[in-house]
Chain A
Amino acid sequence: MNLWALDLWRKLRCLVLLSFTVVLVGCASIPAGVERSPQDPWEPFNRSVFEFNEGLDAYVLKPVVAGYRFVLPEFVRDGVYNFFSNYSDIYTALYNLLQGKPGDAFNDFMRVVVNTTMGLGGLLDLATPGGLEKHKEDWGQTLGVWGVPAGPYVVLPFFGPSNVRDTFGTVADLESDYLFRLLPDVALRNSLTGLRVINARNTYYEAGDLLDGAAIDKYSFVRDAYIQRRQYQINQGRDDEEESTIPVYQNPYE
């Protein structure tokens, strides 16, 4: 346990160091006149990392995904998506159990059983049309359900929008990713990780362009959406969900 904590600390430190390097390279500052958000005290730092991620996406990740879409037919890409989705359902089931939602956990467990057997090892998603709804949970959400506050907003290099709690969550997600970490074949493991990243980016290939078109200031758009969405995910399934998720606007009609 101690070793595990030490390892976690080491990884977290790496991430922080990496962030600072990125900031030294980049030089984004807050545009003049922008009102500071109380949830984003580290905005100059975050904007630098955001710029770095945007550049990485535009020059590396997106072109690679464009090639992926060109080379592989849609049904193959769907199979890749379903495979990783099925794998993450195992974790979703565990997190739902940890969050005290045994009903959802059982649902997710059944999804994995159905898709792994009848769905040819997860390449097909037969559970969704069969009425077993997909959920998506992670460590950050689980910590949130347990009452850990989000803390300030943080943009992580490579991983994108986060907050202090979800940064710990992301490290824990990577740390507890046993099926991948324990694969003995290094080449296979690295290829799978690469494919996983490409698959993740592919899921919002067209949506990313739409976001660019719709955003006035992409940084604050993404930030405000992330903060809202995480809160929503954590409140999901709670009795007071209804009231807590509907914002009260400042200027109703007189």
Chain B
Amino acid sequence: MKSYKRIPQYLVAGLLLISGVAFAQTPDQATAPDALIKMVVTDVMASVKSDADIQKGNIPKIVDLVEKKIVPYTDMRRTTEMAMGPNWKKATPEQQNQLVLEFKNLLIRTYSGALSQLRDQTVQFKALRAAPDDKEVVVKTVVLGRGDPVPLDYRLEKTDKGWKVYDMNIMGVWLVEAYRNQFSNQISQNGIDGLVKFLQDRNKQLASAKPANS
């Protein structure tokens, strides 16, 4: 059994693992990508560590935190589009909107589960290697804590609303890549509506499940 199975754990840990220098700074459109990641991660880690409810696994509260503090700096539409590949163009605008919504909810839920396991981890930010006029960059971090260090990279794109995260790499695995075949398989079996329905059902099921830490 190799360490791939620990990916979700790391996803959780990695996403949120900056230790608590809680300086209240809000990123704006001009914020550089590496500074943006540092601010968001630091803020989220501090919030998670200081909240007793979250530590006890109060998933709705974590979901709320993720919605407020992380989602504004992501471009989930782009994430979904990339994961859909050529199938994206075959979907109607309505289906596209549903897919973005459901996939976003699935990722938020997974991420929240990971965050609830955050304890004494810290995040190390690597120096950004990018030219000033780059439209796309990868910001690299490493989450340190119990067990092996977890490399966690964020892929960002420059938009008119500032830098937005649209893909992440957890221990060497790009999120979009990992969903690509799963999406196309589900679509070739049950069509785009089948994929939408699958995601809806899964999200409902996860929403009614008991918290992991209780």
Contacts and interface: CB of A to CB of B under 8 A. Distances in A.
Nearest to A246: B138
Contacts of A33: 185, 188-189
Contact of A251 (B86, B113, B155): B86
Contact of B188 (A35, A203, A226): A35
Nearest to B199: A216
Interface string A154-178: 0000111110000000000000000
Contacts of B109: 213
B6 A203 contact: yes
B32 interface: no
A4 interface: no
Q: Which size bracket describes the interface of B in this complex?
A: 35 or more
Given A31-B189, A81-B147, A249-B82, A216 B155 contact: no
Contacts of A187: none
Given A224-B178, A242-B129, A136 B138 contact: no
Interface string B174-187: 10111111111110
B110 interface: yes
Given A35-B184, A216-B179, A224-B181, A133 B149 contact: yes
Of residues A206, A220, A221, which shows the largest number of chain B Cβ atoms within 10 Å of its Cβ? A206
Given A225-B178, A233-B172, A214 B148 contact: no
A226 B4 contact: yes
A228 interface: yes
A3 interface: no
Of residues B179, B185, B188, which shows the largest number of chain A Cβ atoms within 10 Å of its Cβ? B185
A200 interface: yes
Given A34-B188, A162-B2, A229-B172, 10 more contacts: A158-B1, A206-B117, A210-B8, A210-B114, A213-B206, A220-B182, A226-B4, A229-B4, A229-B7, A233-B172
